Structure 1
């Protein structure tokens, strides 16, 4: 799968935001070391929210929700489309960001999404997608993907965004049971996907060792449960 394929499979912006919140809440409950893979910051910047994923091994993504829409950046450090493929230029892959609309131009230069390189700085990205609120679907650049090696996932979009494309509690449960090596209550996972208020009982059903009181600051950062309908619709 490439970004072009992913653009056809991703749900709309409100669903991507809701899913991202759910992942962040569940990962926070399941992460005893306080280092979740999925996070969400409802106070990232004025009028902006940030959903993020990091593997801790150099791979990451960010989704910035703005008043204009949403911008997605993914970085697979082993992708042949990495800006590190050429140590002389450190450039993003041709077509990746050239057609990003002006509404998201600031995300291309966002320090949190860039790496410092000998030539200055470069956006750490092998995947870029975006969607304005008026757009009928997600969009990406006109890209000639590398063909060497017969890679089915040359930019990393398939494995990085599989759960968002799947958009089901079962998808998250499969990831979490493998990653955290636990058995999870499907009904409890679904309650978080439905954005039910967290109770001490619900938290214990997900992770018997987790404490609701200890999660209060994280839940405030995530903005969980979500705020008013007006906030959900347009930040």
Structure 2
């Protein structure tokens, strides 16, 4: 798994690829974990007018929210045990420089804007991700970004390892790859991944995620 953090964002996918990846992760979680409240990843293709939102919540107080619109992507995260989490004076600084097109993400109550340890953004036509020029405390992962962002390396094996650890399930790497590549999901694919999957519910999940069946 490639390390992705605010110190090195070169392995974080560009905007359109990140959006597709978060859709894939949400679709996989919907198959592997029928109970929505226990899922790690989710995606709402109709979050707002012209907006889509991908998120991660690990149930232990850590999360990230990625807001996609016509301009690009805004992503903010919170890792509750990192050094920055205990430095509230840095919170407002992390939002400095956020383009006006993403200001809604900074104030969105559902994103818990007061809980932030890192914040990124990227316009669709930009060559790289950007973030505020904030001096972070010393340490291996002071803002928790490596912990929360490294799973977004685009490698299907990363999800296979995650499912084994988090859901205690072995998933077929070929099927995970197919969903990473956004191949249409079929009932047989879903049942191969999880024999207990409910196809009717998954069709509703796919509609919310905007994943093709």
Pair in the same fold by TM > 0.5:
yes
Structure 2 CA distance for aligned equivalents of residues 219 and 38 of structure 1: 13
Structure 2 CA distance for aligned equivalents of residues 178 and 97 of structure 1: 33
**Structure 2 unmatched ranges of 5 or more:** none
SS at match of 2:95: coil
- 1:87-166 to structure 2, matched below 5 A, reads 90-93=88-91, 95-114=93-112, 123-147=114-138, 151-164=139-152, 166=153
**Aligned partner of 2:180 among 176, 189, 193:** 193
**Structure 1 unmatched ranges of 5 or more:** 115-121, 227-235
Structure 2 CA distance for aligned equivalents of residues 186 and 212 of structure 1: 21
**When the two structures are superposed, what TM-score results if normalisation uses the length of structure 2?**
0.92
Given that 1:68 and 1:132 are in contact with CA atoms closer than 8 Å, whether structure 2 keeps it comes out as yes
1:50 has 2:41 as partner: no
1:41 has 2:41 as partner: no
Please name the residue that 2:30 is paired with: 28
* Per-residue CA distance 1:112-163 (angstroms, 9 max, x = gap): 122xxxxxxx53210100001221110111111112xxx2111111110111
State the number of aligned residues: 210
Structure 2 CA distance for aligned equivalents of residues 2 and 14 of structure 1: 17
User: Who wins on radius of gyration, i.e. which is larger?
Assistant: 1
Moved over 3 A (4+): 90-95
Shift in Å, 1:93: 3.4
Structure 1 CA distance for aligned equivalents of residues 170 and 4 of structure 2: 32
**When the two structures are superposed, what TM-score results if normalisation uses the length of structure 1?**
0.84
Structure 1 CA distance for aligned equivalents of residues 89 and 20 of structure 2: 33
Structure 2 CA distance for aligned equivalents of residues 213 and 24 of structure 1: 16
